[in-house]
Amino acid sequence: MKFNKDAAALERRREKLRRVMLGSAEKRGLLGSSVVYLLLIVISFIFLYPVLYMISRSLMSRNDLLDSSAMWIPSSITLHNYESAILTMDYWMSLLKNLYLAAVPTLAQVFVCSMVGYGFARYNFPFKKAWMGILILAFLLPSQTTALPNYLVFQNLRMIDGTIKPFLITAVLGQGFKSTLCILIFYNFHRQVPQSLIEAAEIDGAGHLKAYFRIAIPLAGAAIVVVTLFSFVWYWNETYLVRNYLGYGATRATGLTTLMLELNAFEDSYANAYTTWASSVTSSDRINDAIRMAGTVLAIAPLMILYFVLQKQFVESVDKAGITGE
**Measured between alpha carbons, how far is 272 from 9 in angstroms, rounded to an integer?**
80
Q: Does 183 bind another protein (CB under 8 A)?
A: yes
Binding to another protein, residues 264-283 (CB under 8 A): 264
Binding to another protein, residues 222-261 (CB under 8 A): 233, 237-240, 243, 248, 260
Binding to another protein, residues 81-100 (CB under 8 A): none
Q: Does 172 bind another protein (CB under 8 A)?
A: yes
Q: Output 78 or 151, the one with its CB closest to another protein.
A: 151
Q: Does 175 bind another protein (CB under 8 A)?
A: yes
Please list, in sequence order, all residues whose beta carbon lies within 8 angstroms of the beta carbon of residue 244, skipping any fewer than 6 positions away: 147, 148, 150, 151
Q: Alpha helices, DSSP H only, in the chain?
A: 2-22, 30-58, 62-66, 80-89, 91-122, 128-140, 144-156, 165-172, 179-192, 195-203, 208-211, 217-219, 221-237, 240-246, 259-264, 266-277, 289-309, 311-315, 317-321
Q: How many CB atoms lie within 10 A of CB 313?
A: 15
Closest CA to 122 of 60, 51, 211: 211
Query: C-beta of 319: minimal distance to another protein in Å?
Result: 5
Collapsed DSSP state (helix, strand, coil) of residue 23: strand
Q: Does 126 bind another protein (CB under 8 A)?
A: yes
Q: Does 148 bind another protein (CB under 8 A)?
A: yes
Q: Does 167 bind another protein (CB under 8 A)?
A: no
Collapsed DSSP state (helix, strand, coil) of residue 28: strand
DSSP secondary structure of 164-203: SHHHHHHHHTT-STTHHHHHHHHHHHHHHS-HHHHHHHHH
Query: C-beta of 204: minimal distance to another protein in Å?
Result: 16
Compute, in degrees rounded to 10, the torsion defined by CA atoms 226, 230, 235, 241. -110
Q: Does 122 bind another protein (CB under 8 A)?
A: yes
Binding-site member from 4, 68, 149, 203 for another protein (CB under 8 A) = 149
**Measured between alpha carbons, how far is 279 from 242 in angstroms, rounded to an integer?**
35
Over the range 67-104, which residues count as b (16 or more CB within 10 Å of their CB) and which as e?
Answer: eeebeeebeeebeebbebbbebbbbeebbebbeebbee
Q: Does 203 bind another protein (CB under 8 A)?
A: no
Binding-site member from 12, 19, 128, 210 for another protein (CB under 8 A) = 128
**Measured between alpha carbons, how far is 245 from 121 in angstroms, rounded to an integer?**
32
- Stretches 29-37, 74-82, 94-102, 280-288: which one binds another protein (CB under 8 A)? 29-37
Q: Does 20 bind another protein (CB under 8 A)?
A: no
Q: Output 43 or 96, the one with its CB closest to another protein.
A: 43
Q: Output 10 or 51, the one with its CB closest to another protein.
A: 51
Q: Output 49 or 277, the one with its CB closest to another protein.
A: 49
Binding-site member from 101, 198, 293, 294 for another protein (CB under 8 A) = 293
Query: C-beta of 221: minimal distance to another protein in Å?
Result: 19
Q: Does 213 bind another protein (CB under 8 A)?
A: no
Collapsed DSSP state (helix, strand, coil) of residue 116: helix
Query: C-beta of 64: minimal distance to another protein in Å?
Result: 15
Q: Output 282 or 324, the one with its CB closest to another protein.
A: 324
- Stretches 3-11, 74-82, 93-101, 144-152: which one binds another protein (CB under 8 A)? 144-152
Query: C-beta of 97: minimal distance to another protein in Å?
Result: 16
- Stretches 7-15, 82-90, 151-159, 279-287: which one binds another protein (CB under 8 A)? 151-159
